[in-house]
Amino acid sequence: MYDFTYHRPESLAQAIELVSAKCEAKLLAGGMSLLPALKLRLARYSDLVDLKAVSALEGGRREGDKLIIGAMTKHAAVAASEVVRQAIPALAVLAGGIGDPLVRNRGTIGGSIANADPAADYPSSVLGLGATVITNKRQIAGDEFFTGLFETALQAGEIITAVHFPIPLCAGYAKLLHPASRFALVGIFVAKTNAGVRVAVTGAGSSVFRFADAEEALNADFSPAALDQISVDADGLNSDIHASAEYRAHAIVVFAKRAVASALSR
């Protein structure tokens, strides 16, 4: 790890000031992706601005038809939260399947979506539920947030403060587990909302994406069988030593069905 100067502001304002003052500063949330990258010397920053003491960013609540989760809320807290389990049980399932229990004790929702790892679980829920990402500057629609591989719409000095998840009629998450890293080789978030069905796919492309064919079929008939005739073109999907594009293409459909079945079982 290259050395850096560590900061632990206690307010959002201080954090913004610190991260804006240095061009090579980086925000640190749970650190579950950032610290391994730093340890492997894959990245280098002059300053790390740790958000752990900014208590306003942690915790969640239901507000009407929205579930609001603070950016620094840990995966374990989301997984165990009665409020989340009542409002969007699939989100609790998703959070409870990220990494491993020790990672979930540290990793945060804000960190996960800001990092925009193409194989991370959370981005699928942001896109699949049509969530809104709240920052210190603005509100960003889920559909606009993820712009590419490890890339988001966030600007320099912009900090995610919370994610607003609209509460769907029902939702499900199903994941093809990476055998080593526990990331998603393929993860599918399906949500049935008053505005229609949304299906988001993580792990299979350079960034999370929506699965339009499935959405259309599920809008007509929200059941696993509705996807029987759907197939996915492997072209352009991720391919690595653990799963070829072809297998991922197959898994997208299978796990979409499993996510639908999970949504219907609640």
Partner 1 sequence: MHRAATSTRIGQPVPRKEDMRLITGKGRYADDLNLDGQAYAAMVRSPHAHATIRSIDTKAALAVPGVLSVLSGFDFLADRLSPIPNKTFSVHPAEMPLINTDGTPAFNIPDYPLPVDKVRFVGEAVAMVIADSIAAAKDGAEQVVIDYEPLPNVTFTVDAAAPDAPRVRDEHSSNVCIDAQAGDAELTEIAFRKAAHIAKIKTWIPRVAGSPMEPRAAVGEYDPQTGRYTIYTCSGQTLRLRRDLAIVLNVPETNVRLVIRDVGGNFGTRGAIFAEQPLVAWAARRVGRPVKWTSERSEVLVSDYQGRDLAVEAELAVDKDGNFLAMRGSNVGNLGSHTGNFSMVQKGLEIMSSIYRMPAAHFRARAVLSHTAPTRPYRSSGRPEVIYVMERLIDTVAHQAGFDRVELRLRNLVSQSELPYKNPFGMVYDSGDYIGVMKRAVELGDWNGFAARKAEARKRGRCRGIGVANYVDTATGIPREKAKLTVYPNGCVDVVIGTVSNGQGHETSFAQLINEWLGVPFDMVRLITGDTDVVDVGGGTHSGRGMRLGSIVIWHASNKIIEKGKQVVGLLLQKSPSEIGFADGQFTAQGGPVMSLAEVAAAMNARTDLPQELRGPLLAECDETVNDAGFPYGCHVCEVEIDPEMGFVEIVRHTTVDDVGKAVNPLIIHGQTHGGIAQGVGQALLEHCFYDASTGQLLAGSFMDYAMPRADILPFFTTEISEVPSTTHPLGMRPAGEGGTTPALGVVINAIVDALSEFGVTHMEMPATPERIWRAIRGKPQRSRIVPDSIEQEISLR
Partner 2 sequence: MPLIGRRSWAARQLGFSEFREDTASPLERAANVAQGMHMPIVSMTVNGALRSAEVEGRTLLVQFLRDYLHLTGTHVGCDTSQCGACTVHVDGVAIKSCTALAVAFDGAVVTTIEGLQDGERLHPMQQAFHENHGLQCGFCTPGMIMSAIDMVRRCGHDLDEHTIRRQLDGNLCRCTGYHNIVLAIRSGAAAMRPR
Q: Is 15 in the site for partner 2 (CB under 8 A)?
A: no
131-140 as b/e: b if 16+ CB within 10 A: bbbbbeeeeb
In the DSSP assignment, the letter for residue 160 is E
Q: Which is nearer to partner 2, 121 or 215 (CB)?
A: 121
Among 42, 155, 241, 265, binds partner 1 (CB under 8 A): 241
Among 10, 65, 221, 240, binds partner 2 (CB under 8 A): 240
Angle at 131 between CA 129 and CA 132, to 5 degrees: 170
User: Closest Cα partner for 150 from 37, 1, 255, 5?
Assistant: 37
Among 2, 63, 82, 235, binds partner 1 (CB under 8 A): 2
Strand partners for 140: 133
Site for partner 2 in 32-61 (CB under 8 A): 32, 35-44, 46, 48, 50, 52
Site for partner 1 in 175-194 (CB under 8 A): 176, 179-181
Among 52, 103, 244, 261, binds partner 1 (CB under 8 A): 244
Q: Cβ neighbours of residue 202 under 8 Å, at least 6 residues apart?
A: 118, 119, 120, 121, 123, 124, 184, 186, 187, 188, 189, 208
Q: Which is nearer to partner 1, 56 or 254 (CB)?
A: 254
Q: Is 2 in the site for partner 2 (CB under 8 A)?
A: yes
Q: Is 209 in the site for partner 2 (CB under 8 A)?
A: no
Q: Which is nearer to partner 2, 38 or 217 (CB)?
A: 38
Report whether 2 contacts 44 (CB < 8 A). Answer: yes
Q: Is 264 in the site for partner 1 (CB under 8 A)?
A: no
How many residues are recorded in the chain?
266
**Measured between alpha carbons, how far is 134 from 144 in angstroms, rounded to an integer?**
12
Q: Is 239 in the site for partner 1 (CB under 8 A)?
A: yes
Residues at the interface with partner 1 (CB under 8 A): 1-3, 40-41, 176, 179-181, 239, 241-244, 247, 250-251, 254
